[in-house]
Amino acid sequence: MKQAMIQDWTDSQVLLKFGDHRDVKYRVYRDNGKNFQEIQEPDGVPIHTLELPEGMKLDVSSYEVLLRYVLLDVVAA
């Protein structure tokens, strides 16, 4: 099945702890009936791909919250 783009690549500056931030880009897409958020460094180096919960409809602000969660909790672990 072909991927369906939900949100194309979007640049984001994610606020981390103690005023630090991290520049990333992300996209949200559907593949084989599942939704994914793919996160990369600005130069295209992969950071993490997160499978979004089934049936969860999100908006842009929710995707930004997920970015922070992934960068603080998943990647740092």
Q: What is the pLDDT of residues 43-67, one digit of tens each?
A: 999 999 999 887 666 777 788 888 8
Strand order of the sheet with strand 21-31? 4-15, 21-31, 34-40, 46-51
What pLDDT does residue 1 have? Answer: 58
Tell which residue, 35, 65, 37, has the closest CA to residue 49: 37
The radius of gyration of the chain's CA atoms, rounded to the nearest angstrom, is 12
* Mean pLDDT value across residues 1-24: 86
Q: Is 55 left (phi over 0), alpha (psi -120 to 50) or beta?
A: left
Domain ranges of the chain: 4-74
Q: Is the pLDDT of residue 77 over 60?
A: no
CB atoms < 10 A from the CB of 17, how many? 7
CA distance 49 to 66: 11
